Structure 1
């Protein structure tokens, strides 16, 4: 069995560099490119859901496309996920935060994000 070559990741790395060039004033996000998903970039933000919102808007992702997930068992953690395609590469955006009191039972799909 031969090992995957770095060349398989070049489109994802190109898009990642392009995002940095296109949006230099956006908050920095953790970025990941994986040989398992060679045509995908994952951007994750941990500090502030407003950072997620800034990236969501910049990537032209509709608020209706954002999915809200919460920790099993009613834990205090939540995350927002959304996907876009940039120059033929999937971009998976994730924002991590804390569940607001009384909000954990709400729908899994966020129609409008209030941050």
Structure 2
């Protein structure tokens, strides 16, 4: 056994540049879309930087989902005791993008109830 402490690998901020550039391009192309709480991070060292957009409403979420060409079938509905939210993953200019939309007007009980495919598409 050794008393040596292994230091974590420190990655340069430049590795996050592609995500920052993707965000700048999205702003340039779609500057009228709803504002978001923005995160850029690497979920783990083996992955590239990811752009996260957290949105205040399902309407804002839908606007971003549409411009990012994320299929409606790829949207997940999540529920906890306190809130219900949407999430979806896409890619823009090779950069992973994670969308989260809060304030879904459903109770956790309703959001957690399985729906038949026919009922969802109706």
User: TM-score, normalization: structure 1?
Assistant: 0.80
Structure 2 portions without partners, runs of 5+: 1-6
Structure number with the bigger relative contact order (C-alpha 8 A, sep ≥ 6) is 1
Aligned residues: CA RMSD: 2.3
Taking the TM superposition and a 5 Å limit, the aligned residue runs for 1:80-95 are 80-95=86-101
Q: Which residue of 2 aligns with 1:52?
A: 61
Secondary structure, aligned partner of 1:41: strand
Q: Which residue of 1 aligns with 2:3?
A: none
Equivalent of 1:23 in 26, 30, 38: 30
Q: Check the 8 A contact 1:30/1:44 in 2, yes or no.
A: yes
Whose strand fraction is larger, Structure 1's or Structure 2's? 1
Equivalent of 1:39 in 26, 49, 53: 49
Q: Deviations over 1:24-58 (max 9, x none)?
A: 11000111012445421000012x21000111111
User: Structure 1 residues 87, 98: closer, same or farther in 2, change over 3 A?
Assistant: closer
Q: What is the count of residue pairs matched by the alignment?
A: 107
Equivalent of 1:6 in 7, 13, 21: 13
Q: Check the 8 A contact 1:76/1:98 in 2, yes or no.
A: no
Structure 1 portions without partners, runs of 5+: none
